[in-house]
Amino acid sequence: MDSLGRTYLLVDGENIDATLGGSILGRRPQPQERPRWDRLLTFAEEHWGQPVTPLFFLAVHGEIPMPFVQALTSLGYKPVPLSGTPDQKVVDLGIQRTLEEIGRREGDVVLVSNDGDFIPQLAPLIGTRRTGLLAFNEFRNLGYTELQAQGLEVFDLEYDVHAFTETLPRLRVIPIDEFDPAQFLG
């Protein structure tokens, strides 16, 4: 499939942070344990060899977290601060609407989330443009497996993207050619 000239990188930072803290670390991540957001941007640019428009979706309950927003902006991200009623999942709604809008324009898309709430909006894009998912493989919604069979490219945030500076305490199946017993012996 020919490149359409632009990749939209949509980041569900809350989902990644919640998965990292709740499922992998079992506690709130320390700053050095969080993804290096610049590495996601670099990965997306290098993987498909074209410019990236990175959007970072934030739920804001009160004041905008300016230090974080300024850090994202300095990396080239466009922060998307959203608010709504307590029963609204504003980040999900924002990403869903953005995926629908991308469907009306040219451009490839990479979603950064484990959440399956985006499958209905992502599925129609597969086959009409390049589509990718950056997630934690063992925690991504199983619905993405079917989309992967249809052409969705799936990458692990730690193992493929190298988005972390420290090794995370994850259990993964190790290909025998990569197995190093010394890692288990201490």
Instruction: Tell me what pLDDT residue 2 has.
Output: 45
pLDDT in tens, 165-176: 988 988 777 889
pLDDT in tens, 88-108: 999 999 999 999 999 999 999
Q: Where are the domains of the chain?
A: 7-185
Query: What pTM was computed for the model?
Result: 0.91
- Write out residues in the chain with pLDDT < 70, as ranges: 1-4
Say which CATH topology domain 7-185 has: Rossmann fold (3.40.50)
User: Cα separation of 103 and 4, whole Å?
Assistant: 13
Instruction: Tell me what pLDDT residue 3 has.
Output: 47
Instruction: Tell me what pLDDT residue 143 has.
Output: 96
Pairing of strands 153-156, 7-12: unpaired
Instruction: Tell me what pLDDT residue 186 has.
Output: 73
